[in-house]
Amino acid sequence: MKYLLVLGLVLVVFWAWRSARDRRAASLRQADKPAPVPVQTEIVECDLCHLHLPRPDALIGATGTFCSDAHRVQAGREA
Ligand SMILES: [Zn+2]
């Protein structure tokens, strides 16, 4: 009976040591991770050549969205 109590105590100490170690490792892992940078750039399509490009790089014309000034002018002529 005495050995059973000692074994139980050893198991409890081992469990406490392991869970403390796991918690420490998890917090270290989270500290190493860089904060996620939310990058959301809308992708638009050129109405003439169908090239996909980020909206900030696109030219918004009266007749649609274009990848370059040449395509905006060309689409304006064709329309
Ligand atoms: Zn284009």
List Cα–Cα distances, 39 to 12, 26, 42, in angstroms: 47, 26, 10
**What's the first-to-final CA gap in the chain, in angstroms?**
94
Q: What is the pLDDT of residue 78?
A: 66
pLDDT tens, the chain, 79 aa long: 788 888 888 888 889 888 888 888 888 887 777 777 878 899 999 999 999 999 999 998 888 999 999 999 998 876 5
C-alpha 37 – ligand 1 centre gap (Å): 30
Q: What is the pLDDT of residue 54?
A: 95
Q: What is the pLDDT of residue 61?
A: 81
Q: What is the pLDDT of residue 31?
A: 78
> Going by C-beta distance under 8 Å and a sequence separation of 6 or more, which residues neighbour residue 39?
none
C-alpha 38 – ligand 1 centre gap (Å): 28
C-alpha 64 – ligand 1 centre gap (Å): 11
The C-alpha atoms of residue 59 and residue 71 are separated, in whole angstroms, by 9
The C-alpha atoms of residue 53 and residue 46 are separated, in whole angstroms, by 8
C-alpha 79 – ligand 1 centre gap (Å): 15
C-alpha 44 – ligand 1 centre gap (Å): 11
The C-alpha atoms of residue 48 and residue 71 are separated, in whole angstroms, by 6
